[in-house]
Chain A
């Protein structure tokens, strides 16, 4: 580590976040991201990493995608964040563009947050208003963000810390892929909404069983609850379709998109709201106020992001990247059957499963040392989140596989003990 980096990390601990700074160092990841371009990150000491974390799809199109940089620059010639109280050119234009690609014909409005958590809060408030009920059902180990309501839908590790856990029994959690538990939670008809990550990301992408999500939607209909799809990580073409929920045959009542919609260039998150749920927007349009929500520069970038993502070439790219990486990962898995035990995949959403309670961490560390940045799943550290971008080049994909094979072997030897190499 360079002197400069050592000094910087000290400053990071002093002024920013001592715990987080130290945790990464402890995990063997002394990363300080400096330059970034396409799917490449450069550590402040100059080391290159291929980014397979992408902050959950924020960098779907790569870091600083030239067209997004261009549109943002051009946008500043005319726009700033705008005045959130007034009808705004860019907010309306993006809402119109989103309606055109919404996962169903019933979507009508878009409300804006400045980040995913806020958008989730808006979605939950919207459902409560429309249902005139309070209860929210979510999935055990779900992750919807850390704002006031969103944090209550997730793992209590994050709410308890701040004495912010649900105390009124308004937030119920049921295990994923468990329809009985879901029905039990809904049976009382006192639930406003079920909120679902289409594939729970921070939980390591356990995949919905065939028929699970549509059945949840049916249960919602049966018991008068709304279905909120959190498409923050599964939307925007990552499954090979615009929205993951569409692939599973679900038309939600409310949908949240974040991360990637910003192109990684200007913060924004969006709540798509069906006509049925959008009553508050007429009743009291000032009901949710957010100065930076839907900042107009963010809208400008988001529209370009949507346009790029819908180009026909992107669909083929996603297919190639998913198929190619899967074929290569299958080959690697065969070599280390006692350690690398599974792949969860839908498009370029992938989770690599390791046969050790914390197995993804050493893999992450060795990948890091071998030039690839992919992060373990906070809520299931057996699983490495493996999230290639939509536009990953063939050369980078091939290079990723080469590096993964090396890192998995090193991690395996570290965790399970060296076995075959007998030098």
Chain B
């Protein structure tokens, strides 16, 4: 539709009314889709979920390449992997969980009926545009919710392409039309219109802190998560070689664009040299003080992190800072002596630059790890490499993070891809991180349960709910378009009308009849 045809004389497209109108229309459509989706049984639901996962898997590589082209962030090959992980494996992880049928708890005399949220408004970031989109859409489909995606403007084109393809796959598999929608012209005021609309049931916010805070300020239920800044502690008891391998693999994975990537490496003097050697042989370049200073200047502008550097290769960043590094360098390591406001390198870095701090003692190391998260990233992720369970326990109980990855790459591990945590692209930062959820966000967060509760008194028997399911009526039948060839015929034979008392009256008496009926109605009204 050519907008100029309609707006050339008076253009209100930038008015609050236009934004609210746009939001209302998409959200009302989503509400209709959610209403119909709620009629689907588990088999119909899973058929849609699988179709979407297959579509996401099939285009994982293409979308990865396009995401890198559009945003300049990350490594296509790693993005492909993430796009794949958020397709089939995500579904497999939840395959045995049933968010459709009711469940019976005989012991507590409670029956629970799943009730989907309804309409989800989901923000997706520029850093992991397609993986996050896959993940949120599949979560919505598993739980029979409708979802409206608002992509980050920097990843708009690839997000629209991916979401459109997934919506098509979903509808081809029977999903209600409009169950998956994407906002094609995201802007801050428009996003606000969606977030504050009473037609939005829950906001799933992943992205910059301002967006997350806006989601929580919207007056709607929100699941928003804060930024990361993961400390990784390499203890004296660690397998140093393996630790270095894991850290370099994690830091270089998609060039550290996952918010679960290690940000500050903390270790103790006993193993410092050994760790430096191991990092080098794993592909890290250890910077001198001058090089560190150059990186500090390059990465941190007065306004914040240099977006130019997000998700870039280590060699590209080195070149920008006039640091000569071997061509096969995977990450840059910058030694720092302080942690806190005075050392910008101890903040989150969504690029393959890792700060290295050597604490005097283990105790100090733990306190420095806490300091990292106090600076930013509270409630997010942390990692530790150690063999001593007591140390692991101390560390985990002390750091204000809701997931502590042990002897594994944190980027993947905290997001549930190299551990048995739930695979996610929304890391709940919980109360530490000003969020409502402290675990990896999953489908269970998009459904609430109606609980049928019986009298707890033992003498009162519990009902037998085996085989008592609610009716799943499935898709709405298509209404007929009378007189149009090939449209749906009436769905049941209308009974032949008994001849009505009045039908035999001729035209001459019709006026009389009219009067009679009017009088009749008047009478009835008085009753």
Q: Which residue of A lies closest to B2 (CB)?
A: A100
Specify which of B7, B29, B482 is in contact with A313 (CB 8 Å cutoff): B29
Given contacts A337-B495, A357-B502, A414-B524, contact A65 B21 (CB under 8 A): yes
Cβ of B15 under 8 Å from chain A: yes
Q: Which residue of A lies closest to B21 (CB)?
A: A67
Cβ of A399 under 8 Å from chain B: no
Chain B 1-32: CB-based contact to A (< 8 A → 1; otherwise 0): 11101111110100101101100111011011
Q: Which residue of B lies closest to A319 (CB)?
A: B177
Cβ of A324 under 8 Å from chain B: yes
The CA-CA distance from A365 to B517 in the complex, in Å, is: 13
A-B contact count (CB 8 A): 181
The CA-CA distance from A317 to B181 in the complex, in Å, is: 14
**Which A338-359 residues have a C-beta within 8 angstroms of B?**
338, 341-342, 344-347, 355-359
A89 touches B9 (CB 8 A): yes
Specify which of B6, B477, B501 is in contact with A306 (CB 8 Å cutoff): B6
A394 touches B28 (CB 8 A): yes
Count residues on chain A whose CB falls below 8 Å from chain B CBs: 77
Q: Tell me which residues across on chain B come within 8 A of A327, comparing CB atoms.
A: 476-477, 479
Given contacts A26-B518, A355-B498, A365-B525, contact A78 B9 (CB under 8 A): yes
The CA-CA distance from A311 to B21 in the complex, in Å, is: 11
Q: Which residue of A lies closest to B30 (CB)?
A: A313
Which of A142-150, A203-211, A263-271 is found at the contact surface with chain B?
A203-211
A323 touches B28 (CB 8 A): no
Q: Tell me which residues across on chain A come within 8 A of B10, comparing CB atoms.
A: 71, 74-75, 78-79, 300
Q: Tell me which residues across on chain B come within 8 A of A164, comparing CB atoms.
A: none
Q: Tell me which residues across on chain A come within 8 A of B3, comparing CB atoms.
A: 307
Cβ of B390 under 8 Å from chain A: no
Cβ of B500 under 8 Å from chain A: yes
The CA-CA distance from A394 to B177 in the complex, in Å, is: 14
A100 touches B178 (CB 8 A): no
Chain A 243-285: CB-based contact to B (< 8 A → 1; otherwise 0): 0000110000000000000000000000000000000000000
Q: What is the minimal beta-carbon distance from A344 to any residue of chain B, in angstroms? A: 6
Q: What is the minimal beta-carbon distance from B116 to any residue of chain A, in angstroms? A: 14
Q: What is the minimal beta-carbon distance from A301 to any residue of chain B, in angstroms? A: 9
Interface on chain A toward B: helix, strand, loop, or mixed SS? helix
Cβ of A117 under 8 Å from chain B: no
Residue with the greatest number of chain A CB neighbours at <10 A, chosen from B9, B18, B177? B9
Q: Which residue of B lies closest to A90 (CB)?
A: B9
Cβ of A387 under 8 Å from chain B: no
Cβ of A406 under 8 Å from chain B: no
Chain A 66-105: CB-based contact to B (< 8 A → 1; otherwise 0): 1101110011001100000000011001001100100000
B9 touches A394 (CB 8 A): no
Q: Tell me which residues across on chain B come within 8 A of A382, comparing CB atoms.
A: 500
A300 touches B9 (CB 8 A): yes
Residue with the greatest number of chain A CB neighbours at <10 A, chosen from B476, B481, B503? B481
Which of B42-50, B367-375, B408-416, B484-492 is found at the contact surface with chain A?
B484-492
B32 touches A66 (CB 8 A): no
B525 touches A28 (CB 8 A): yes
The CA-CA distance from A342 to B509 in the complex, in Å, is: 26
B9 touches A70 (CB 8 A): no
Cβ of A393 under 8 Å from chain B: yes
Q: Tell me which residues across on chain A come within 8 A of B12, comparing CB atoms.
A: 67, 70-71, 74, 304
A361 touches B494 (CB 8 A): no
Q: Which residue of A lies closest to B35 (CB)?
A: A394
Specify which of B17, B477, B522 is in contact with A66 (CB 8 Å cutoff): B17
Cβ of B478 under 8 Å from chain A: yes
Specify which of B17, B36, B495 is in contact with A67 (CB 8 Å cutoff): B17
B524 touches A362 (CB 8 A): yes
Cβ of A293 under 8 Å from chain B: no
Given contacts A300-B9, A358-B513, contact A310 B1 (CB under 8 A): yes
Footprint of A on B, CB under 8 Å? 1-3, 5-10, 12, 15, 17-18, 20-21, 24-26, 28-29, 31-33, 35-36, 177-178, 181, 476-485, 491-492, 494-495, 497-498, 500-503, 505, 513-514, 517-518, 521-522, 524-525
With A28-B524, A326-B477, A345-B480 known, 6 other A-B pairs at CB within 8 A are A27-B521, A207-B482, A247-B484, A320-B33, A334-B492, A342-B497
